[in-house]
Structure 1
Amino acid sequence: MDSRDIDPVIINNSLADTQLCRCLQKQYKIRFSESTPQDSCIFPLSTVTFLVVKAEDVTTSKSTPSDEQIKLSPYMIERLWNLQSGHQNCFLILSAALHEQRELSIFAAIQQSVSGSNMKILPSHNDSETAKIMAMIAKAKEKSTSAILKQRLDTVAWKQVNEEMILNSLAAIGLTDHQCFVLQQGCGSLANIVNASKEELLECTSLATETADRIIKFFSETRHAQSNT
């Protein structure tokens, strides 16, 4: 298979020298990053993010307390909330060799901590199983090539329609085709024309002052009318 056909995965540097990373390298093109959340794996094509944590690292105590005494560390709670606030589609994978009473209690404590969020929590026994879980979920959520192409075409079509409406609006206030062309070339895009100040219009184009005044007045009145609807 051509390496260009291999899906990418962005892995935080904290997971670089792990069995999980080696498992993922067998089927994905791995990129390492320092700016992503610690212990995270991001699948861009699937828009899904995984946070991988060990059960013994999420509590304030290494002992085996009763269910009522399980408390997540403040650092762990902060990491969970930072992840779900920055990533809409995220999973926490809780890794432990055995999932006995203590691990189940930790699982319940995490669920309670992220209650009401979009985060899903999954158990795993080891790095190999974690890699399989990630691959299965990422594959299920990955958009097909045709869906991605349609989304991009829809975006281009919307932009073209929007720009055509702006051109028609400029023509409606008396601008010639040449003046519209000068505006577009000078400002870079029609979107920039809408948001430009009078000084920016005069600096970027050869239009007369009264023409710039008409443009500013038109779009100012348009925004005011939209805000009142």
Structure 2
Amino acid sequence: MTGICLGNVHWKNSNPSLAQRLELMLDSSGYRVRFLTIAPDFIFNSMGLSVAFLLITEWNEDTITAALDRAGKIRRTFRNCYAIYSVSSNEANESFLDAYFRSKTFEIAMPPFIPVNDGQMALERMLNLADVHAECKRQGTVSQVDNEREDLVCSNDAFVVAISSIHGLTPHDANTLQQGIGSIEEIMAASKEDILDNTDLSAEKADAVVKFFHDPPFYMNPVPPSTRN
């Protein structure tokens, strides 16, 4: 796939070895690259379609909040955007997810955050995603994919499946939460007391809902097969 890649010159200066690898990858893929002062770390344009990327390859508790705020601002500017972050351990991933769910910046999965093992994999994933968008544009399937995604996200069936995946909750409980609390975003923001006051869910189920969205040890641990709904 051919196209143009605009890179953030600050990212290049902060990641010289990764920048050299990326330039080689882009050259072999047919992309021309220029480094400028831009808001995202990268903007790929191919077939008239732009895709923005934020690469979070170096982060800690002191810098992650600023990175998440930046990702939220980029999402408001670019329809197609991704945040790719590298984590080297389960503990690092839990720390990142905890900061993500505590952030007030995002809608659900907007922009999509994609974990990878290291900076090299981040570059590869970014290039793959840019190529996928360009190929969809070439085949004229972008509108179709967008419509199907919107229908899925907005459908009641998708809502019920998402909420009833919380351990201990049934499809009836999901419908009860939708009627009493509202959207997934509103359920995420609801406290245990809000859920008890506005639904007929038990205290145990209300606690499970709150923990699912805000307690990393709870939502990161798999449910034993013998206790699944």
Give TM-score, length-normalised by structure 2. Answer: 0.48
Greater gyration radius: 1
